């Protein structure tokens, strides 16, 4: 056991982790002085730990001396689908929404200009919705897709838009109004726009720079959902905020919304 005020093994790990997380969460490279001040560490400790973190490739320095994520982070990113990490982190939120609503819960990401559903929790009702994770649907006809369109994470395809039902919005002016309404209230909705009798509601999940990286939504029969949009919107917003905090490397706060 360390004595005389020297740093214990656990303290050393905690301080190193603090330095790494501070660099990772920053939008720009941090100088030695920035890190020392932000982490409230002695100069000698900061210097020793930064040297060790560089040596292990957890951090590296830019040409002007600022600290950024090291090669190990980029190696991990190159070898792993970011969607896998998102699905893993989102699992408890999807389950919680499913337990609260008993409806089908979906998580989507953008792949280029397409919106794909990467995870689903099935409805607890006998009359629910099918597995959408392998189905390619027009983004402007789904609440999940509308989230990405409303916040400009993806763009509408060129040319005439598909109209799966008579309720589908295909006129650009009507869609612009719908997207503004989505941004103003914080969630997107569809009523019979993809399939007659099917409705959905979805909210954005944001990344480290406040960009929309995913959409969290609920879908189900119109007769059950369309009168619950306000309630479901607030519930989804709460859990999307929790997921956003996890993606930013923070612990969700109690009651965060």
The three-point CA angle 197-233-213 to 5° equals 100
Taking 60 as the threshold, does the pLDDT of residue 176 lie above it? yes
| pTM of the entire predicted model | 0.70
pLDDT class for 13, splitting at 50, 70, 90?
very high
Answer with the one of 31, 52, 78 that is the final residue of a domain.
Answer: 78
101 and 235 Cβ atoms separated by less than 8 Å: yes
Residues with Cβ within 8 Å of residue 101, at least 6 apart in sequence: 218, 232, 235
Read off the tokens for 4: 């005389």
CATH assignment of the domain containing 208: 3.30.450.40
**Angstrom distance (rounded) from CA 220 to CA 257:** 24
Taking 60 as the threshold, does the pLDDT of residue 255 lie above it? no
Does residue 93 share a domain with residue 71? no
Does residue 212 share a domain with residue 95? yes
Reduced to 3 DSSP states, what percent helix, strand and coil does the chain have, rounded to the nearest 5?
45, 20, 35
Conformation bin of residue 200: beta by default, left when phi > 0, alpha when psi is -120 to 50:
beta
Does residue 104 share a domain with residue 27? no
pLDDT class for 1, splitting at 50, 70, 90?
very low
The three-point CA angle 128-130-131 to 5° equals 130
**Angstrom distance (rounded) from CA 257 to CA 252:** 10
Write out the residue range of the structural domain in which residue 20 sits. 9-78
51 and 44 Cβ atoms separated by less than 8 Å: no
Domain count, the chain: 2
Read off the tokens for 201: 């509601």
Residues with Cβ within 8 Å of residue 113, at least 6 apart in sequence: 154, 155, 157
pLDDT at position 51: 94
Answer with the one of 61, 78, 95 that is the final residue of a domain.
Answer: 78
Answer with the one of 35, 63, 78 that is the final residue of a domain.
Answer: 78
**Angstrom distance (rounded) from CA 164 to CA 138:** 9
The string of pLDDT tens digits covering residues 51-82 is 999 999 999 999 889 999 988 887 776 666 66
> Which of 7-21, 132-146, 239-253 shows the lowest mean pLDDT across its residues?
239-253
CATH assignment of the domain containing 33: 1.10.10.10
129 inside domain: yes
């Amino acid at each position: 056991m360390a004595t005389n005020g020297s740093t214990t093994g656990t303290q050393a790990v905690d301080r190193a982790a603090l330095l790494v997380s501070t660099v990772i969460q920053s939008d720009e490279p941090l100088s030695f002085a920035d890190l020392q001040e932000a982490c409230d560490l002695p100069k000698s400790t900061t210097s020793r730990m930064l040297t060790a973190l560089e040596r292990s490739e957890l951090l590296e320095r830019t040409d002007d001396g600022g600290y950024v994520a090291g090669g190990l982070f980029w190696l991990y990113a190159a070898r792993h689908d970011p969607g896998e990490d998102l699905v893993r982190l989102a699992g408890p939120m999807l389950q919680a929404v499913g337990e609260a609503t008993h409806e089908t819960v979906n998580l989507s990401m953008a792949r280029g200009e397409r919106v794909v559903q990467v995870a689903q929790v099935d409805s607890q009702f006998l009359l629910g919705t099918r597995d959408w994770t392998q189905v390619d649907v027009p983004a402007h006809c789904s609440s999940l897709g509308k989230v990405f369109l409303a916040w400009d994470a993806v763009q509408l395809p060129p040319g005439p838009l598909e109209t799966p039902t008579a309720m589908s919005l295909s006129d650009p002016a009507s869609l612009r109004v719908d997207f503004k309404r989505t941004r103003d209230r914080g969630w997107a909705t569809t009523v019979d726009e993809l399939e007659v009798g099917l409705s959905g509601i979805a909210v954005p999940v944001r990344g480290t720079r406040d960009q929309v990286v995913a959409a969290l939504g609920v879908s189900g029969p119109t007769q059950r959902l369309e009168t619950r949009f306000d309630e479901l919107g607030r519930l989804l917003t709460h859990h999307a905020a929790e997921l956003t905090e996890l993606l930013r490397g923070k612990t969700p706060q109690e009651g965060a919304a």
